[in-house]
Amino acid sequence: MTSNARVFALPFRDLVAIVCRDKWKLAVALVLPPIIAISVAFLLTPRYAAVATLLVKSGREYMGRTDVTGTPGSVALQETKQALINSEIGILEGRLLAERVIKDVGLARLYPDILADPPRRMSVMDTAIAAFAKNMKAESVRLSDMIAVTFYHENLGIATEVANDIVAAFQQAHSRVYSEPHTPFVEDQLQKMEQELQRLENRRTSVRLSAGAYSSDQQRNALISARADAAKQLYDAQSRQSELQVRLKTLQTAAGQVDRAELSSPLMTKVKEERVMTQAELLPLQPRIDALGQTIGNYDQQLQTLEKSDLELRMLDRRIETLGTTVTQSRQRLEDSKILDELDKSKVVSVSVVEPASGSTKPVKPDKLLYAAAGGVAGVALAGLVLLASILMQNTLLSGEGVERALGLPVLVTVPRRPQRLALPSAR
């Protein structure tokens, strides 16, 4: 029969018999682990806990600042509040903060054992920082915007001092991490924009003076009206010139067809007079036509120059208007940036202390109830192992049922075991 089969086939009477037989072993196995665990709990150095509570508010550090041109320099953070709290916990658990607190409190006060027995593979500070990380715990308070900072130490006063020092160092580290001195950059950019605005205004004045563009619409209308008058005069002069040329040609043709005998006739005399008058009237028309054409060309050139100047002026006006608005907004941003920088210099942060560090005079470690419970579980397990070993190692039959199971034969008679009686001395 195998060991497992022996265990499962063991009759209840045999199991009770084994328990009764090994009751002292089982009692020792059941009681000894809790006694050892409780003794260890009492022998361990008690450790106290100091807890400080911080509140993470929605402050200026978490909002994105815009640069001087109006473009978002860092878009307002879209993280959840839990992500922000996790970031703050990361700062609390940082090496720099731990090292600073250790130096402020003093390594000799905080971890004298490390100084008494320096490690060989690590530096003293690295060992102290590792111990500090084990003793310090920062965790978010559920369903709130608060962070609980806990520090464990053998001395309650030191634990409270360290917890308060952690909070103070954290607020300074928070201010250093989130501070962004933008004022010098904003001032530099604003100065460049003001210089560009002045250059554009000077250029606009220069264009107006060079083109005489004091009022583009009125000047354009005046030039168009003057050109129209000149064009009408040119048309009239050209029409009159054409008319006189036709008339002169007709008179010349008529004069060529008259006989020599009639050259001195009154009719010829009149034809000659009209021809002379026509030539006299026709002679100044061409210079006038040329002058009017040149005048119209000048008007066209002035209109073209005015259109170019007007186009450039309009572009300059738009750029000046846009840049002027940006400069006005940037001046306001500069004032805001100065205020924010002053807040950073003053260490004004959005993390406030809800409760300073405090602790109970009752040590939190070691937890004696936990040790006792663990010892009880270990005692039950050890007693079970002892009972199992007794069952597996027993080689006797303890009851009639066990005999029948082992031999397959019926038991006819069982003789109960009786305790031996002591022989009494006979009376004489």
User: Tens of pLDDT along 189-208?
Assistant: 888 888 998 998 888 888 77
CB 115 within 8 A of CB 21: no
Same domain, yes or no, for 217 and 296?
yes
Position 303 in a domain: yes
- The CATH number for 267's domain is 1.10.287
Position 296 in a domain: yes
Same domain, yes or no, for 328 and 373?
no
Position 120 in a domain: no
Same domain, yes or no, for 332 and 379?
no
Same domain, yes or no, for 325 and 391?
no
CA angle 364, 365, 368 (to 5 degrees): 95
Mean pLDDT of all residues in 404-425: 61
Same domain, yes or no, for 277 and 390?
no
Residue 347, pLDDT above cutoff 60: no
CB 30 within 8 A of CB 381: no
Same domain, yes or no, for 201 and 262?
yes
Same domain, yes or no, for 200 and 296?
yes
State the DSSP string of 311-335: HHHHHHHHHHHHHHHHHHHHHHHHH
Position 196 in a domain: yes
The count of residues in the chain is: 428
Q: Tell me, what's the pLDDT at 152?
A: 92
- Among residues 317, 336, 355, which one ends one of the domains? 336
- Interatomic CA distance for residues 193 and 330, integer angstroms: 9
pTM attached to this predicted model: 0.51
Position 218 in a domain: yes
Same domain, yes or no, for 372 and 247?
no
- Interatomic CA distance for residues 220 and 315, integer angstroms: 18
> Residue 111: which of 155, 163, 149 has the closest Cα?
155
Backbone angles phi, psi at 332, to 5 degrees: -65, -40
427: phi > 0 → left, psi -120 to 50 → alpha, else beta; which?
beta
Residue 357, pLDDT above cutoff 60: yes
The conformation of residue 62, written as its DSSP 8-state character, comes to G
Position 408 in a domain: no
Binned at pLDDT 50, 70 and 90, residue 59 comes out as low
Q: Tell me, what amino acid is at 399?
A: S
Q: Tell me, what's the pLDDT at 97?
A: 92
Q: How many structural domains are present in the chain?
A: 2
Of 130 and 180, which is predicted with more confidence? 130
Position 325 in a domain: yes
Position 277 in a domain: yes
Q: Tell me, what's the pLDDT at 76?
A: 42
Same domain, yes or no, for 290 and 399?
no
Of 134 and 351, which is predicted with more confidence? 134
Residue 370, pLDDT above cutoff 90: no
Mean pLDDT of all residues in 59-65: 56
Q: Tell me, what's the pLDDT at 77?
A: 44
Question: Which range marks the domain in which residue 395 is found?
Answer: 3-44+366-403
Residue 89 burial (CB count, 10 A): 19
CB 364 within 8 A of CB 108: no
Mean pLDDT of all residues in 123-139: 92
Q: Tell me, what amino acid is at 310?
A: D
Q: Tell me, what's the pLDDT at 99?
A: 92
Q: Output the average pLDDT for the chain.
A: 78
Same domain, yes or no, for 304 and 375?
no
Instruction: Please list, residue by residue across 295-332, b when 16 or more beta carbons sit within 10 angstroms of its beta carbon and e when fewer do.
Output: bbeebeebeeebeebbebbeebeeebeebeebeeebee
